[in-house]
Amino acid sequence: MKKASRFVSFEGIDFSGKTTQISLLAKRLKEKGFGVDILREPGGTPISERIREILLDKNHLEMTAISEMLLFSAARNQLVTQKVLPALQNGNFVIADRYVDSTTVYQGYGRKIDMQIINDVNRIATMGHMPSLTFFIDIDEATFQERARNTSADRLEQAGIDFFRRVREGYLELAKKEKQRIVTIDGRQTVGAIQNEIWECVTKKMHLIDEV
């Protein structure tokens, strides 16, 4: 797998605070003069956004696990081709709100699709391009349930608590296997504390100390 030096992804179960932290990191990078492209999965291109609508539609509860995995992967391949690679070639930071790890844990651990199939499809979809740094913002079950209260659930969010337990366990196992790339952060901290931890990690691991 090829790792791009300015490619950062954020992972975590729903309501972990990823989107907030992505916005804060992008703001700090821009203040230092870096170009930043924020991309979300699934989405980010016209085709990928159409796929997103299908995947999250609550009327598509009959969707099979394999169909779900292939749709996510199709959206990802469009994103990598049309957005990720051009942005990196221009010297910009790419910050992805979810990437290939989501397929590994949601469809692999969550939907229980054979991991060899997951790995093969992931490799095809990404064309081997991986983030050099991934932040897994971890929240426990109680925090998830509290934050999810009084929200309207999409198709994936309706999967049930057992599904999300498997997904979280998948993230924890993946983080142990890929310690050089994946940084686990306690998502129960304050927004400011999490952002400071992320910024310190970005400046050190991505060798930005001299640049900033």
Percent of the chain with pLDDT over 90: 81
207 or 123: which carries more pLDDT confidence?
A: 123
- Inter-helix orientation angle 161-177/141-148, to 10°: 130
CATH code of 145's domain: 3.40.50.300
Q: Tell me what pLDDT residue 144 has.
A: 85
Looking at the predicted structure, is the pLDDT value of residue 193 above 90?
Answer: yes
Q: Structural domain of residue 180, as residue ranges?
A: 2-205
pTM (2 decimals)? Answer: 0.92
Region 130-145 average pLDDT: 94
| pLDDT at 156 (0 to 100) | 67
Q: Looking at the domain assignment, is residue 30 inside a domain?
A: yes
**Do 53 and 155 touch, CB atoms closer than 8 A?**
no
Q: How many domains does the chain have?
A: 1
Would residue 211 count as lying in a domain? no
Looking at residue 168, its pLDDT comes to 96
Two tokens, residue 163: 């599904």
